[in-house]
Amino acid sequence: DAGVTQSPTHLIKTRGQQVTLRCSPKSGHDTVSWYQQALGQGPQFIFQYYEEEERQRGNFPDRFSGHQFPNYSSELNVNALLLGDSALYLCASSLGPREQETQYFGPGTRLLVL
Amino acid sequence: AQSVAQPEDQVNVAEGNPLTVKCTYSVSGNPYLFWYVQYPNRGLQFLLKYITGDNLVKGSYGFEAEFNKSQTSFHLKKPSALVSDSALYFCAVRAAGGSYIPTFGRGTSLIVHP
């Protein structure tokens, strides 16, 4: 049973570019949440997708957008990249939007913006 | 608003000795509290949670945490540390009945010396 998978593992972009990160949830899970973890910080909630809709959103600008597909996989898109967007981006899945406490995290995508 | 403080960036302990990783929180209403562990190049793994009931919560890998409402603390403990426990530990909180979005602390690096 595969856990949460994310791709790519690492990514280097330049300021102003756009990036798409991908996540496949744990088998049987239907809810995906995205987090940004800056160096030396704890994860910060970006948004959550359930039934292909954004259900909750943290304090992130509209440059951060997402999508969930019918197979429950998800994408995180970031436009007009800033240096401050450099971070580890974590995807987490759960069975239902109210089970975030026991959500399963993927290994993350490390994004470096130059 | 909700917040978490992990006052120690790093905790050092000898193998076989008891360990404590500290966490204090602030939240409106009753708290839901969680501990996660992050190994290098891995995502976060859920260790344990406090929702209600006994103040002493037992979790994975022999870890436990004690909820103290008067001190607004939720310290993580283990009676006998292992070298393999060396990792980054995150405390998180959310308000009961709230938005299900957890707030994470900055993390505490636990180093267990042989």
Report pLDDT digits (tens) over A20-62.
Answer: 999 999 999 999 999 999 998 999 999 999 999 999 999 999 9
Taking alpha carbons only, the member of B46, B44, B64 closest to residue B56 is B64
In terms of C-beta density within 10 A (0-12 exposed, 13-18 middle, 19 or more buried), how is residue A43 classed?
buried
Question: Is the predicted pLDDT of residue B47 greater than 90, yes or no?
Answer: yes
Q: Do A43 and B104 touch (CB under 8 A)?
A: yes
A99 falls in which pLDDT band (50, 70, 90)?
low
**Which are the contacts of A74, defined by CB distance < 8 A and separation ≥ 6?**
A22, A23, A25, A32, A34, A49, A66, A67, A68, A91
B29 falls in which pLDDT band (50, 70, 90)?
confident
**Which 39-98 residues of chain A touch chain B by CB within 8 A?**
40-45, 48, 56, 58, 90, 92, 97-98
pLDDT value at position A101? 66
Q: Which residue has the tokens 């909700």?
A: B2
**Which are the contacts of B54, defined by CB distance < 8 A and separation ≥ 6?**
none
pLDDT value at position B53? 85
Q: Average of pLDDT values for B37-61?
A: 89
Query: Comparing B68 with B41, which gets the higher pLDDT?
Result: B68
Q: Report the C-alpha gap between A60 and A46 in whole angstroms.
A: 6
Q: Which residue has the tokens 């949830």?
A: A25
CA distance B31 to chain A (A): 12
